[in-house]
Structure 1
Amino acid sequence: MLRKNDYRQSFSRHLTSQTNPTIHNLNPRANGNHYGSNRPCQPLDSAVTTYTILNKQDRHVLGSLLHLKLTTRNRTGSPRTCGGDFFQAKLFSPKLNASTAGKIVDHQNGTYSISFLLGWTGRAFLSVTLVHPREALQGLRKVRETPNTGYLFNGTFYDHKEVLDEQKCYSSYEDGFDNEEDYCSYTKPKANVSFWCRRPKKKNVGCEQLAFVVSDLASKDKYDEANGKLLNEEEWLYFRKGQYFQVEIAAEDGMNEVIVVQKELVSCAKPLGLTSGSIRDAQLSASSAVPGYEAHRARLHGQRAWEPASKNTSQWLQIDLKVPKVITGIQTQGLWGGMVPAYHLMVSDDGQTWTKGSETFDGTEDGISITEEALAPPVVTRFFRIFAAASDLPRLRMELLGCDQASQFRDNYVPQTFLHQHGPPPGLPPCGPNLPVSQSEGYFYQDVWYSTACRAASWLTRPYVETCLRNRTVLLQGDSTVRQLAGELETLLGARDHYRCQDYKEEVEGRYPESLRLYVWTGPIAVCQKLDKKVVLQFRFHHFPVRAGSQVELANLRTIVYKLNTIHPGENAVVLLSLWAHFTDDPLEQFEARLWAIRAAIEKLHRRAPQTLVIFKSPNVRDQLYLSKVLMSSDWLAYDMWRRLKEIMAGLNVAFLDIWDMSACHHSVPQLHPAKEVTTNAIALLLSYICPM
Structure 2
Amino acid sequence: MPGGSKPMERRVRCFLGITMVLVFMSLLMYGVQDRSWKPSPNPPAIRTRKPIPHPQPLQSRTTVPHPIHSRIITPHPRPIQSNTTIPNPPATVKQLFPEIHGKKPNVSIHQYSAMYFKQLKFSLQSHSAKNFTVGDTLRVVFSARNKQGNIITNTGDYFRASIFNLKTKSGAVGIITDHKNGTYTATFKLLWAGEVNIIVKLVHPRQAIEVIERTVWEHPVDKIMFVKRYLIGKAKVDTRCNVDPAVLNTHTPVCNYSDPQAGVRWYCEKAANISCNTSGYHGRLPTSVKLLRKGEEKLFGRGLNGIKKSISGSPSKIYVTSGLNPLVNRTRCMPGLPTPQISGFYKGGVWNSLVCHNRHFSNQSEWRTCLRGKTLHFMGDSTIRQWYEHLVKLLKLSDRPLPDAIHQTGPLLARDTVNNITVKYRSHGPPLRCAWTRTFHLQYVANVIDEIEGGQNDIVGISVWAHFTTYPVDMYRERMEAIRAAIQRLHQRSPQTLVVIKSANTRTGNELLAGDWLAYQLDLVMREMFEGMNVVLVDAWEMTTAQQWHGDAIHPTSDIVIQELQYLCSFVCPL
State whether TM-score is above 0.5. Answer: yes
CA-to-aligned-CA distance 1:366-407 (integer Å, 9 cap, x gap)? xxxxxxxxxxxxxxxxxxxxxxxxxxxxxxxxxxxxxxxxxx
Instruction: Find out whether 1:250 has 2:312 as its counterpart.
Output: yes
- Whether the 8 Å CA contact 1:15–1:593 is kept in 2: the answer is no
Match of residue 691 from structure 1? 573
Match of residue 551 from structure 2? 669
Distance in 2 of aligned mates of 1:61 and 1:6: 49
Q: How does 1:93-492 map to 2 (within 5 A)?
A: 93-145=165-217, 146-159=219-232, 161-170=233-242, 172-175=243-246, 181-200=252-271, 203-216=272-285, 219-220=286-287, 222-223=288-289, 226-228=290-292, 232-233=293-294, 235-240=296-301, 245-251=307-313, 254-263=314-323, 419=325, 424-426=327-329, 428-438=330-340, 440-492=342-394
Displacement of 1:637 after TM fit? 0.9
Q: Can you give the 5+ residue segments of structure 1 that lack an aligned partner in the other structure? A: 19-23, 29-37, 264-417, 509-517
Instruction: Find out whether 1:632 has 2:495 as its counterpart.
Output: no
Distance in 2 of aligned mates of 1:243 and 1:488: 28
Distance in 2 of aligned mates of 1:207 and 1:74: 62
| Structure whose residues are more often helix by fraction | 2
* Matching residue within 522, 527, 537 for 2:414: 527
Opposite residue 223 of structure 2, the aligned amino acid is G
- When normalised by structure 1's length, the TM-score is 0.64
Matched residue SS, 1:582: coil
Matched residue SS, 1:213: strand
Q: Can you give the 5+ residue segments of structure 2 that lack an aligned partner in the other structure? A: 1-45, 60-81, 87-94, 101-112
Instruction: Find out whether 1:605 has 2:457 as its counterpart.
Output: no
Instruction: Find out whether 1:66 has 2:126 as its counterpart.
Output: no
Instruction: Find out whether 1:556 has 2:416 as its counterpart.
Output: no
CA-to-aligned-CA distance 1:139-158 (integer Å, 9 cap, x gap)? 21222342334322232112
Match of residue 275 from structure 1? none
Opposite residue 448 of structure 2, the aligned amino acid is K
CA separation of 1:94 and 1:209: change in aligned 2, threshold 3 A:
same
Opposite residue 256 of structure 2, the aligned amino acid is S
Opposite residue 143 of structure 1, the aligned amino acid is T
Match of residue 539 from structure 1? 425
Matched residue SS, 2:513: helix
- Whether the 8 Å CA contact 1:87–1:130 is kept in 2: the answer is yes
Match of residue 31 from structure 1? none
Displacement of 1:566 after TM fit? 1.2
Displacement of 1:631 after TM fit? 0.9
Match of residue 6 from structure 2? none
Distance in 1 of aligned mates of 2:190 and 2:413: 41
- When normalised by structure 2's length, the TM-score is 0.76
Matched residue SS, 2:512: helix
Match of residue 367 from structure 1? none
Opposite residue 522 of structure 2, the aligned amino acid is M
Opposite residue 197 of structure 1, the aligned amino acid is C
> RMSD over aligned Cα, in angstroms?
3.1
Opposite residue 541 of structure 1, the aligned amino acid is S
Match of residue 389 from structure 1? none
CA-to-aligned-CA distance 1:664-684 (integer Å, 9 cap, x gap)? 232112211111111111111
Opposite residue 661 of structure 1, the aligned amino acid is E
Distance in 2 of aligned mates of 1:596 and 1:471: 31
CA-to-aligned-CA distance 1:292-325 (integer Å, 9 cap, x gap)? xxxxxxxxxxxxxxxxxxxxxxxxxxxxxxxxxx
- Whether the 8 Å CA contact 1:100–1:442 is kept in 2: the answer is yes
Aligned positions, number:
482
- Whether the 8 Å CA contact 1:102–1:115 is kept in 2: the answer is yes
Displacement of 1:493 after TM fit? 1.7
Opposite residue 579 of structure 1, the aligned amino acid is V
Opposite residue 53 of structure 1, the aligned amino acid is L
Which structure's CA Rg is the greater one?
1
- Whether the 8 Å CA contact 2:143–2:153 is kept in 1: the answer is no
Name the stretch that deviates more: 519-528 or 579-588. 519-528
* Matching residue within 596, 619, 630 for 2:481: 596
Name the stretch that deviates more: 207-216 or 560-569. 207-216
Opposite residue 115 of structure 1, the aligned amino acid is T
- Whether the 8 Å CA contact 1:98–1:446 is kept in 2: the answer is yes
CA separation of 1:587 and 1:166: change in aligned 2, threshold 3 A:
same
- Whether the 8 Å CA contact 2:279–2:438 is kept in 1: the answer is no
Distance in 2 of aligned mates of 1:598 and 1:572: 21
Displacement of 1:71 after TM fit? 2.3
Instruction: Find out whether 1:48 has 2:108 as its counterpart.
Output: no
Distance in 2 of aligned mates of 1:643 and 1:87: 16
Opposite residue 196 of structure 2, the aligned amino acid is A
CA-to-aligned-CA distance 1:403-449 (integer Å, 9 cap, x gap)? xxxxxxxxxxxxxxx947xxx322x2333333335352222222112
Q: Which has the higher contact order (CA 8 A, sep 6+)?
A: 2
CA separation of 1:556 and 1:436: change in aligned 2, threshold 3 A:
closer
- Whether the 8 Å CA contact 1:156–1:163 is kept in 2: the answer is no
